[in-house]
A and B are shown apart, each in its own frame.
Chain A
Amino acid sequence: MHSIDLAVTPLRELNQSLHGSSEAAEWEIVNPKGSHAVAVGVDDALDIHVRGNVGYYCGGMNKQGSITIHGSAGPGVGENMMSGRIVVKGDASQYAGATGCGGLLVIEGNASSRCGISMKGIDIVVGGNIGHMSAFMAQAGNLVVLGDAGDALGDSIYEAQLFVRGSVKSLGADCVRKDLRPEHIELLTGLLEQAGMTGVRPDEFSRYGSARQLYNFDVDNFDAY
């Protein structure tokens, strides 16, 4: 186990150590105090525990790494992650998991606005609520929300799937409610289990996705081009 104290070690040194290390698999990072870009660009199967609150872009571009934030995360946690797993024990700020291509992002508390914006294959599980404009232009992957969703959920959505257990304040353009079929129950069961969310039944969720009216060419809209 490597332990790094951000009160004494510069951030760049931490991230360079993480990038160069495949022999030390376990890392503990203390005193982040809202620092930006903690553990970005991890490219190994490291097990990283951050003790405290982090600022912008924690775990961004993560590949293979397992990053647990024992606190809350600022904007852009797990932005553009490719694979691996990030768990936020507290809340997450704006655009959590933005443009994420793969892996699993778990936010045990609430996520703020634009959660999963432009997601491209990432799975995101939120234990609490999500803010407005979440899953805006979401392309692929799954967003699972145990609480409520804010305004304009899934605006201009492509092929991502959204599952919300609570209420949805409003749906964005071209986002519609869809049937929850057996294959979705199966998918949800797996995601909830991976995220460690217990006491929740998959059939309590509603599914939302694209009506596919906005991104397919329609000859009636020809004059608009």
Chain B
Amino acid sequence: MEPELGSLLSDMLITMTDRGPDSAGIAVYGSSDPDRSKIVVQSFTPDADFGALEEALGGDCVLNVKDSHAVIELPESELEQTRGLIETDFSSIRIISAGSVIEIYKEVGLPKDVVKRFDIASMHGTHGIGHTRMATESAVTTLGAHPFSTALDQCLVHNGSLSNHNKLRRELVREGMTFETENDSEVAAAYLTSRMAHGMNLAEALESGLQALDGFYTFVVGTRSGFGVLRDPIACKPAVLAETDRYVAFGSEYRALAVLPGIDGAKVWEPEPATVYFWER
């Protein structure tokens, strides 16, 4: 199924358009070259910015423009240095994802238009996450779209609304973290990043989120080797899983899963509240 990943994810996401047509995003975990990494960047003036960035990059780096985003492939040893270069010298370019396999693309607009702009349907990969947004807590902007990067090869998508995100954001800013938006989900992502920077693994960070994050949430987190799910203790926000011998799939509702091959024979079930789940390849 790996060659069909982008196409299946696109279909699932387009099916969910009526849950939230503001913005859409997708994280694809693609193939990995040993010792190579990827940075996906975004700009509102890609024509001017990406040319200048390409000139500033080292000779071992390859930059491919995809609409408002660009993928930089580079030696793993140059990843941190290049991130630093972008952050200090290119204030109009934002890093959307970084890691050895992850690529995140996100934009405002309908899922069908967003997946077309980035040609998601042609992408191969081992796993991926799509999200379509109906903004409730903050503006409809490219950077307010999901997924949010939480660490190398990690990302978060959120359905729900957090009620203590302003307080948490202030605490995280005091720790030195920076934010691009007023978005509550970005705070959840930054919270996970912060906990992991303090030595927790992702599962422990999610567990501690059950105490720290007040509000409604179904989270899906992507990792290099799989994905995880966490619902808040009230679990109003929907979540459905389908498991077969060939794949594990998550959706906000069954309609999204109905497009998958062999779904009629799948084990379909709902995750329990306040329980951290992970699936590893």
Chain A interfacial positions (CB closer than 8 Å to B): 33-35, 53, 55-56, 72, 74-75, 91, 93-94, 112-113, 132-133
Contacts and interface: CB of A to CB of B under 8 A. Distances in A.
B268 interface: yes
A133 B234 CA distance: 9
Contact of A72 (B234, B236, B254, B273): B254
Interface in B240-264: 240, 253-258
23 contacts: A33-B258, A34-B253, A34-B255, A34-B256, A34-B257, A35-B255, A53-B254, A55-B253, A55-B254, A56-B253, A72-B254, A74-B253, A74-B254, A91-B268, A91-B269, A93-B238, A93-B270, A94-B238, A113-B235, A113-B273, A132-B235, A132-B273, A133-B234
Contacts of A132: 235, 273
Task: Give chain A's interface secondary structure class.
Answer: loop
A55 B254 CA distance: 7
A34 B270 contact: no
Interface residues of B, number: 15
A133 B233 CA distance: 11
The 6 A-B residue pairs with the shortest CB-CB distance, nearest first, are A34-B255, A34-B254, A33-B258, A34-B258, A53-B254, A112-B270
Contacts of B253: 34, 55-56, 74
Interface in B179-220: none
Given A72-B268, A113-B273, A132-B273, A55 B235 contact: no
A33 B255 contact: yes
Given A93-B238, A113-B235, A53 B273 contact: no
Contacts of B254: 33-34, 53, 55, 72, 74
Interface string B87-108: 0000000000000000000000
Nearest to A33: B258
Given A34-B253, A94-B238, 13 more contacts: A33-B254, A33-B258, A34-B257, A35-B255, A53-B268, A55-B253, A56-B253, A72-B254, A72-B268, A74-B238, A93-B238, A93-B270, A94-B235
A108 B234 CA distance: 24
B13 to A, nearest CB: 15
A112 B269 CA distance: 10
A91 B242 CA distance: 13
A93 B240 CA distance: 9
Contacts of B258: 33-34, 53
Interface centre among B254, B258, B270, B273, by most chain A C-beta atoms within 10 angstroms, is B254
A91 to B, nearest CB: 8
Contacts of B268: 53, 72, 91
Contacts of A112: 270
B260 to A, nearest CB: 11
Contacts of B269: 91
A92 B253 CA distance: 12
A133 B235 CA distance: 10
A97 B240 CA distance: 19
Nearest to B234: A133
B273 to A, nearest CB: 7
Contacts of B235: 94, 113, 132
B124 to A, nearest CB: 26
A132 B275 CA distance: 13
Given A93-B270, A112-B270, A113-B273, A75 B255 contact: no
Interface in B26-85: none
Nearest to A72: B268
